[in-house]
Amino acid sequence: MIQPDRLDRFFPITYPNGNTVSRFAKHCPHCKQLVKASAMEGMALLLKDKVFVLADGQCPHCQHTFVVKCVIDEYKQVHAVGLPVFLYRMMLQWGARKQVQTFRQQNDWRTAQQEASEQDDSAPAPRGTLLADSAMVQKSDEILGNFMGQPIHAWIISNGQRLVYERAVPPGGSFQLAEQEVLFENRLIYRPA
């Protein structure tokens, strides 16, 4: 399920046709000043050829809070959403689950899963370290981008050791960790700084 976060962490988003939405902002309905995505908390989700945005914004100029509900089409046109917030949120959560199910039904995913399970039987154990997300892991505020709907932190600190982002785990899971590398959250690979 997609988790709400600071809205600017969801961007940039690239459509299947190659267009990219690199940032998002909305005018405050109270004072008409421009409110950037960094002052909004919510979610943005790409489904097929549309980005669905649902967020709570707080104007840094007048402190007015407001709700942002919109759809950005593949031509970067923004359309307001007339649904109530709870119904729009349910639709986004359903869409996120549906997207994962659709991806898992594709032949490429099934083939990759079969190959990975075959390799598990014969492959040696990874040489690097596996690290799960916890309160003991300090993550940088600098976000390099998104992978699998989650932010990529520029660096993390675990057990007093600073690790910098190296690469993401390829879909299908066939990868090799070097001795010093750390697999974080089963999706990102970090190395000592």
Dihedral (CA of 95, 100, 104, 109) sign: positive
Mean pLDDT of 143-169: 86
Mean pLDDT of 167-189: 79
Name the least confident of 27-31, 85-89, 120-124.
120-124
- Local confidence band at 28 (pLDDT 50, 70, 90 cut-offs): very high
Domain ranges of the chain: 5-105, 126-192
- Local confidence band at 176 (pLDDT 50, 70, 90 cut-offs): confident
For the entire predicted model, the pTM comes to: 0.51
Per the listing, tokens 């707080």 go with 58
**CB neighbour list of residue 2: distance below 8 Å, 6 or more residues apart:** 43, 45, 92, 93, 96, 149
- Local confidence band at 149 (pLDDT 50, 70, 90 cut-offs): confident
Residue pLDDT, tens place only, 98-138: 664 443 444 555 565 566 666 555 544 456 777 777 767 88
- Local confidence band at 21 (pLDDT 50, 70, 90 cut-offs): confident
